[in-house]
Amino acid sequence: MKKEPILLRFGKNVQVLRREQQLSQEQLAEIAGVHRTYIGMIERAEKNITLCNIEKIAKALNVRISQLLEE
C-alpha cells in the first residue's frame, strides 16, 4: 500500500524535530500525552493523525503546526 505524501512529510518532520531536541520517541510521547508506539507509527507514516494529536505533538515539540507540514 502506497503511503500518502503528506503523512510521509509529516512523519519525517516530526522525526527530524524530535531528534534535534534529543528526545526519544518515548519522551516525546510522554510530553505529548500519547502512547509511545503512536509516535513511531506517525514517523513511519502508518497513521493518519487527527488534528487534536497534531496540536499535541506541535506543542510538545514547541513548534507551529505549519512547521510539521513544511516540505
Asked whether residue 40 is domain-assigned, the answer is yes
Where residue 42 sits, what CATH number does that domain have?
A: 1.10.260.40
Eight-state DSSP code of residue 36: H
Asked whether residue 32 is domain-assigned, the answer is yes
Amino acid at 70: E
Asked whether residue 47 is domain-assigned, the answer is yes
Asked whether residue 69 is domain-assigned, the answer is no
Q: Are 42 and 49 in contact (CB under 8 A)?
A: yes
Asked whether residue 21 is domain-assigned, the answer is yes
Range of the domain at 46: 5-62
Residue with cell 522525526: 15
Asked whether residue 68 is domain-assigned, the answer is no
Asked whether residue 24 is domain-assigned, the answer is yes
Question: What is the pTM (predicted TM-score) of this model?
Answer: 0.94
Q: Are 56 and 14 in contact (CB under 8 A)?
A: no
pLDDT digit string, tens, across residues 1-58: 789 999 999 999 999 999 999 999 999 999 999 999 999 999 999 999 999 999 999 9
Domain total for the chain? 1
Angle, vertex CA 66, rays to CA 33 and CA 17, nearest 5: 60
Does the pLDDT value for residue 70 go beyond 90?
Answer: yes
- Confidence at residue 51, expressed as pLDDT on a 0 to 100 scale: 97
